[in-house]
């Protein structure tokens, strides 16, 4: 089974990214052939660029390696190191009806929020389809918000195959049921663009400050509290095993403790959970040259897969090379 995912280097990674995507990828390394890349071209579509983009690309790569992406097991690279993806993007755009892109939620949501649209934001799903189809993966692990993009890739691949035969593998998305959408500190979907994230890496004091801002209902200390819809509980449960979860549920229902206590507990649990990853990150931060080398090695492995695929595609589409 071949599994592929990409992540934009558009800010600090948060626990929604981790539970919605990164952890699945790390798990998949045990059983599948895994492909993971930093989508730096994609990040440009929302206005990232210049020195900041270069810095965030390295930071995101560093964080991925620290969180368990193993360059021996996975093909791990930066999107822009494998230029074939841009050629395929153009070819696929000839198989992409305008209506398909006009219906894309990510584009509609961003424009509705007043973010002025440029062409890269509009054609974003076509580049994402190229990222996927170039490597023939069967499975794309993503959060709920990316399902439609994988469906667009399927539609484009089907159109292409109808014209030229069974060349492109039709991919399927995979979401982890229990962590479809990780809530942010305001209870909305956690997202960099909503400024409601709890980041994976950061200073302990700053993280506690963020966790203290999580919105909760007002209930007197001695009263029983609901845990099902509590944002603190819904974050904490991501880090807990069954028995720890039951204990926390009991603390909610028996009363005597306030949300402030549960927030402190969440901060502790999270800090412990990411401890080994922080240590690993320290190493990579001190060895950025090694990170760049790892990415280049990954790009060479990715290119070895992309080259024959592009040759086949150029041949059938009549693009001389
Ligand atoms: P953001 O919304 O913060 O910009 P991205 O769009 O870069 O995050 O998402 C990167 C990956 O993390 C995607 O696979 C996405 O579906 C997943 N993801 C992001 N936020 C969440 C969330 N709140 N819950 C679950 N998965 C998420
Ligand atoms: N659009 C994805 C996101 O914002 C990132 C991405 C780009 C991606 N290309 C991909 C994810 C290919 C999976 C497969 O999260």
Nearest residue (CA) to ligand 1, atom 12: 17
Question: Would you state the pLDDT for residue 111?
Answer: 84
Question: Would you state the pLDDT for residue 177?
Answer: 72
The DSSP bridge partners found for residue 141 are 174
Q: Which two tokens stand for residue 70?
A: 């193993």
Question: Would you state the pLDDT for residue 180?
Answer: 72
State in Å: Cα 205 to ligand 1 middle.
24
Question: Would you state the pLDDT for residue 117?
Answer: 85
List the alpha helices (DSSP H) in the chain: 15-17, 23-28, 40-44, 50-66, 84-93, 98-102, 105-112, 119-133, 147-164, 204-212, 231-236, 242-254, 259-273, 275-285, 288-317
Percent of the chain's residues with pLDDT above 90:
85
Question: Would you state the pLDDT for residue 166?
Answer: 97
* Residue 46 in this model has a pLDDT that exceeds 90: no
* Residue 151 in this model has a pLDDT that exceeds 90: yes
Judge whether 64 and 295 are in contact, CB under 8 Å. no
Nearest bound ligand to the CA of residue 16: 1
State in Å: Cα 180 to ligand 1 middle.
10
Backbone angles phi, psi at 275, to 5 degrees: -55, -55
DSSP 8-state assignment for residue 181: S
Q: Which two tokens stand for residue 157?
A: 């691949």
Best residue for ligand 2 mutational test, from 2, 4, 7 (most atoms within 8 Å of Cβ): 7
Mean pLDDT of all residues in the chain?
A: 95
CB contact set of 221 (below 8 Å; sequence gap of 6+): 255, 256, 257, 258
Confidence class for position 15, pLDDT limits 50, 70, 90: very high
Question: Would you state the pLDDT for residue 192?
Answer: 86
CA geometry: angle 43, 296, 309, nearest 5 deg: 80
Q: Which two tokens stand for residue 146?
A: 């990316």
Q: Is 16 in the pocket of ligand 2 (CB under 6 A)?
A: no
Residue 14 CA, closest ligand 1 atom number:
3
Ordered domains of the chain (ranges, CATH): 2-181+288-317 (3.40.50.620), 202-273 (1.10.240.10)
What CA–CA distance (Å, rounded) separates 195 from 12?
A: 11
Nearest bound ligand to the CA of residue 36: 2
Question: How many residues does this entry show for the chain?
Answer: 321
* Residue 260 in this model has a pLDDT that exceeds 90: yes
- Note the pLDDT tens digit of each residue in 108-142: 888 888 878 889 999 999 999 999 999 999 999 88
* Residue 178 in this model has a pLDDT that exceeds 80: no
Question: Would you state the pLDDT for residue 116?
Answer: 80
Question: Would you state the pLDDT for residue 265?
Answer: 98
Best residue for ligand 1 mutational test, from 145, 185, 190, 193 (most atoms within 8 Å of Cβ): 145
Looking only at Cα atoms, what is the longest distance across the chain? 75
Q: Is 190 in the pocket of ligand 1 (CB under 6 A)?
A: yes
State in Å: Cα 22 to ligand 1 middle.
10
State in Å: Cα 128 to ligand 2 middle.
6
Question: Would you state the pLDDT for residue 113?
Answer: 83
* Residue 66 in this model has a pLDDT that exceeds 80: yes
Question: Would you state the pLDDT for residue 175?
Answer: 84
Mean pLDDT of 73-86: 98
CA dihedral of residues 277, 45, 172, 174 (deg, nearest 10): 30
Q: Is 20 in the pocket of ligand 2 (CB under 6 A)?
A: no
* Residue 85 in this model has a pLDDT that exceeds 80: yes
Question: Would you state the pLDDT for residue 53?
Answer: 97
Question: Would you state the pLDDT for residue 155?
Answer: 98
- Note the pLDDT tens digit of each residue in 201-256: 999 999 999 999 999 999 998 999 999 999 999 999 999 999 999 999 999 999 99
Mean pLDDT of 167-188: 89
């Amino acid at each position: 089974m071949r599994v592929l995912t990409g992540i934009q280097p558009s800010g600090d990674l948060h626990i929604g990214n981790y539970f919605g995507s990164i952890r699945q990828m790390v798990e998949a390394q045990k059983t599948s052939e895994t492909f993971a890349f930093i989508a730096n071209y994609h990040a440009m579509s929302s206005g990232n660029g210049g020195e900041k983009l270069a810095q965030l690309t390295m930071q995101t790569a560093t964080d991925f390696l620290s969180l368990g992406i193993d360059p021996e097991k996975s093909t791990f690279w930066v999107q822009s190191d494998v230029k074939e993806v841009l050629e395929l993007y153009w070819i696929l755009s000839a198989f992409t009806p305008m209506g398909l892109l006009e219906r894309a939620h990510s584009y509609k949501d961003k424009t509705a929020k007043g973010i002025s649209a440029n062409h890269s934001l509009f054609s974003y799903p076509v580049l994402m389809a190229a990222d996927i189809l170039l490597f023939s993966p069967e499975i794309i692990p993503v959060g709920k918000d990316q399902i439609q993009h994988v469906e667009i890739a399927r539609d484009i691949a089907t159109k292409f195959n109808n014209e030229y035969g069974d060349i492109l593998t039709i991919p399927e998305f995979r979401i982890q049921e229990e962590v479809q959408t990780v809530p942010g500190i305001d209870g909305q979907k956690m997202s960099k663009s909503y400024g409601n994230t709890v980041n994976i890496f950061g200073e302990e004091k700053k993280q506690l400050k963020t966790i203290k801002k999580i919105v909760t209902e007002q209930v007197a200390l001695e009263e029983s509290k609901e845990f099902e819809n509590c944002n603190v509980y819904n974050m904490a449960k991501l880090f807990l095993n069954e028995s720890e979860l039951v204990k926390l549920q009991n603390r909610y229902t028996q009363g005597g403790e306030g949300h402030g206590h549960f927030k402190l507990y969440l901060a502790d649990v999270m800090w412990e959970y990411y401890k080994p990853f922080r240590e690993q990150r320290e190493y990579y931060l001190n060895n950025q040259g090694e990170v760049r080398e790892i990415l280049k090695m990954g790009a060479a492995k990715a290119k070895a897969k992309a080259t024959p695929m592009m040759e086949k595609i150029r041949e059938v589409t009549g693009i001389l090379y």
